């Protein structure tokens, strides 16, 4: 029996808990009289505390896959198991709970409310979760301090740089202590130096136990991940 580094790595991977299992997943859309296959029979397994980058050219299915992983969309066919449970069998309440408490979302365009300050923006998931005012504030401040924005608590998005706004978005994503963070082109609107700061922050979150799934078109950004899944024409080209 082989006991080299590769076999040890494979053994450790097998010992990790599988949190996402996608099997033969397809997603079709009707565009006029044409059926578009955004995803075409893909298989992906992601284990707890993995850092995975998803790459591919425009139209490859990256965004569709991210929406399915985040329970924002459902496959036309195939199976998506999240923590061992079939997502297709979940009702609206359970899907809403998962999106609010188990998955944190980070977007390229930040998606912050301009009239609210940083604390209020970060509090929003807690409001939807029914958390009381004092506890909301405490947790929002704690999350902002974790992303080094303790001095910007009451600044509005228009008073912040792009990097600071993305840090607010990340604080909002982690305020409910989710196990999975989905980041869709989180450095797409940032300069190189700020992108590096944001990716170092994702690496820190990964080191604390979060599973990170990152969509990017930038090879330099994908290198921060442990594994890269490449899509082409709705199929897995490499993983």
Q: How far is CA 106 from the centre of its chain?
A: 6
CA torsion through residues 201, 207, 212, 217, sign: positive
Q: Cβ–Cβ contacts within 10 Å for residue 218, how many?
A: 15
pLDDT in tens, the chain (239 residues): 445 555 544 554 556 789 999 999 999 988 888 888 899 999 999 999 999 999 999 889 999 999 999 999 999 999 999 999 999 899 988 888 888 888 999 988 899 999 999 999 999 999 888 899 999 999 999 999 999 999 999 999 999 999 999 999 999 999 999 999 999 999 988 999 999 999 999 999 999 999 999 999 999 999 999 999 999 999 999 88
Q: What is the pTM of this model?
A: 0.88
For residue 33, the number of C-alpha atoms closer than 13 Å in the C-beta half-sphere is 0
Which residues touch 190 (CB under 8 Å, ≥6 apart)? 162, 163, 166, 198
CATH, range 50-78+93-238: 3.40.50.300
Q: What residue ranges do the domains of the chain occupy? A: 50-78+93-238
């Amino acid at each position: 029996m082989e006991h080299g580094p590769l076999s040890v790595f494979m053994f450790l991977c097998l010992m990790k808990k599988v949190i996402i299992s996608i099997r033969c997943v397809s997603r079709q859309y009707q565009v006029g009289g044409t059926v578009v296959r955004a995803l075409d029979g893909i298989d992906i397994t992601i284990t707890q505390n993995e850092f995975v980058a998803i790459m591919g050219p425009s139209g490859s299915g990256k965004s569709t896959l991210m929406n399915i992983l985040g329970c924002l969309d459902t496959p036309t066919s195939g199976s998506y198991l999240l923590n061992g449970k079939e997502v297709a069998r979940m009702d609206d309440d359970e899907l809403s709970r998962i999106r609010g408490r188990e998955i944190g979302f980070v977007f390229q365009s930040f998606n912050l409310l301009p009239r609210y300050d940083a604390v209020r923006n970060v509090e929003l998931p807690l409001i939807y979760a029914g958390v009381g005012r004092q506890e909301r504030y405490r947790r929002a401040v704690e999350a902002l301090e974790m992303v080094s924005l303790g001095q910007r608590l009451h600044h509005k998005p228009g008073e912040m740089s792009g990097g600071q706004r993305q840090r607010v978005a990340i604080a909002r994503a982690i305020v409910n202590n989710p196990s999975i963070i989905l980041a869709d082109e989180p450095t797409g609107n940032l300069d190189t130096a700020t992108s590096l700061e944001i990716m170092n922050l994702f690496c820190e979150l990964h080191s604390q136990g979060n599973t990170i799934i990152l969509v990017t078109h930038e090879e330099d950004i994908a290198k921060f991940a442990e594994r890269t899944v490449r899509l082409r024409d709705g199929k897995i080209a490499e993983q």
